[in-house]
Chain A
C-alpha cells in the first residue's frame, strides 16, 4: 500500500524561475488537495480537485500559480516567476468522498519544501 507521494521533496530555485511539483494520490481517491505551509504555521488551502475538475481555488493562488489534474490521477502545481515569499512547504493530500458532503479523512503526502533564493 502506497500513501500519497510528492516529488521532489526539496527544491531550491532562484527568484524568477518556474518550478513544478508533482503529487500522486492514493489510487482510489477521487479528491486531491494542495496546501501551503510556512514555518511554524498551519497549512493553508490552495486548491482542490474532484477527479479532473478543479472545484475551488483560494485567493492565495495568484495568477502565477496553476494546478492541473489532467486524468484524475496525479496532479501538478506550477509556480511561475517565483518570488522569495513563495518559499514554503507545499503539501498534497487526497481523500475519497461521495459527490457531496464532508470528507472522512484527508491523507497527506510528505510535502515539497521550496526555497527561493
Chain B
C-alpha cells in the first residue's frame, strides 16, 4: 500500500516571498504520478502541478515548481513570489495504475500581507 506524509500541518509566508512545502511517500511501484492539489477555503480542489515518476526533470508551472527526489521518495512544492490567493490547504497525492489518488494529511498555507 502507498502512503503519503506531509509533516507540516501549517505554514505561513509573507507576500512575495518563497515557501517550500514538504511531502514524502512510500511505494513499491515503479511507474506512478505525483500531484500537488490546492483546496482554498470552501472551494473545490484544483490541480497545481504534477510529476511523472519516470521523468527526471522537475515539473514547473509558472510560480510553482517541484523538487522530485525519486530515490529519497521526496516531492516538495516551491511557491515563488507568494500571493494572497495562494492561501489554501495544499495536498500532496500519489497515483499508480490509473486508479485511486492517495493523499497526504495536507498543509495549511497562509500568505500574509
Contacts and interface: CB of A to CB of B under 8 A. Distances in A.
Contact of A102 (B43, B98, B105): B98
Interface bracket on B: 20 to 34
Nearest to A47: B100
A89 B31 CA distance: 30
Interface residues of A, number: 29
Contacts of A104: 33, 50
B101 A43 contact: yes
Contacts of A85: none
Contacts of A45: 100-102
Contacts of B32: 102
Contact of B99 (A35, A41, A56, A107): A56
A116 interface: no
B75 interface: no
B44 to A, nearest CB: 4
B45 A103 contact: no
A101 B101 contact: no
B68 interface: no
Interface in A52-108: 55-56, 58, 91, 93, 97-98, 100-108
Given A40-B106, A41-B106, A105 B50 contact: yes
Contact of B105 (A31, A42, A58, A107): A42
A56 B46 contact: no
Given A105-B47, A105-B50, A108-B45, A100 B98 contact: yes
22 contacts: A41-B106, A42-B91, A42-B93, A42-B106, A43-B45, A44-B103, A56-B99, A56-B100, A98-B98, A100-B97, A102-B31, A102-B95, A102-B96, A102-B97, A102-B98, A104-B50, A105-B35, A106-B47, A106-B101, A108-B46, A110-B43, A110-B44
